[in-house]
Structure 1
Amino acid sequence: MVAGMDLDCRDRLLRRIGDINDFDRPRPLVTIAEFFDGNDDPASIGYNLPAGPTPDQFHTLLSGIAGRPEVADVRIEVKDLENPDGWPATDTIWIITTASPETVRAWFPDHLAPDDLGVGLSNSVEPFQPPPGTHAVWAWYD
């Protein structure tokens, strides 16, 4: 178990996402609160970035992005649970917005910058309907 991890929050997230290792299921799109509340596992997000960011750094960043007037929602795509005692991990963040990918990229500081950005929801994620006038911008980390 990762030190500082809230097991009740982790269990709640695991119930929400179901069997994450069933690759026939669409990947869950969870809220910022669902992903970060109780999460102290650095292997859960941004684990390949050279600065070794913490979940708290991403939580602060994504909460700020979610509060922007041109953003309707921010969702985290849960990809896997490699460590059965760890927190579920992500490599993709979905920003529901009216902004362009170039504008969205500018919201990320260089040390937390994604490797790629694009527009459009994937068929591999659970159904999610962006509000009218918005689109999904995905931020992917290798």
Structure 2
Amino acid sequence: MTPLERITQLVNINGDVNDPDTLRPLLSLEDFFIGNNILGSICCNVTPEPSPQAIYHHLQKIRERNDVSDVLIEITMFDDPDWPFSDSILVITSASPEEVQSWFAEEIAPDECWEGWSEDTDHGWIEVPEGMHPVICWWD
């Protein structure tokens, strides 16, 4: 199975991800980034556009923090035949949104970070350890 076939299967497990009524998949860093060399699949409006592997490395460092239990990639759309697209990640953490934003290098910092779940988006069940909460990081 190719990386594209693998991620296509993961992204569409709940149905067509481009349908707003479909549960939004949240993928591990490995699921999203292994085999991904498509510029614009994440952080597409960042200039200069970083490679997916540079972003992967940065997010791995965030996930390694003691105050973080996980970092997940929310799949927003799959309208490019080469790789799905994400404009948001979820950091499961005990830190505030302001702290989370400060963890990003300036050149790839999200436009906004907020605590809680996205309105009008259903991800299904996600385990959040006691004392932690999701912080959504969003790139416009």
**Normalized against structure 1, the TM-score is what?**
0.90
**Maintained 8 Å contact 2:75/2:84:** yes
Partner of 1:136: 134
3-state DSSP class of the match of 1:62?
Answer: helix
**Maintained 8 Å contact 2:40/2:49:** no
The one-character-per-residue Cα deviations of 1:93-137 (angstroms, maximum 9, x if unpaired) are 100001111111111011000010100023513121311110000
TM superposition outliers: structure 1 runs of 4+ over 3 Å: none
The one-character-per-residue Cα deviations of 1:63-101 (angstroms, maximum 9, x if unpaired) are 0000001100000000111222x1101000100001111
Partner of 1:79: 76
Partner of 1:10: 4
1:116 aligns with 2:112: yes
75-84 or 35-44, which deviates more: 75-84
Unaligned runs of 5+ in 1: 1-6
Fraction of identical pairs, as percent: 37
Count of residue correspondences: 135
**Normalized against structure 2, the TM-score is what?**
0.92
Of 28, 36, 50, which aligns to 1:39? 36
Partner of 1:106: 102
The one-character-per-residue Cα deviations of 1:26-65 (angstroms, maximum 9, x if unpaired) are 2111100000000000120111111111101110010000
**Cα displacement (A) at 1:15:** 0.7
Report the Cα distance in structure 1 between the residues aligned to 2:45 and 2:122, rounded to whole angstroms: 22
**Maintained 8 Å contact 1:78/1:89:** yes
Report the Cα distance in structure 1 between the residues aligned to 2:4 and 2:65, rounded to whole angstroms: 28
RMSD: 1.2
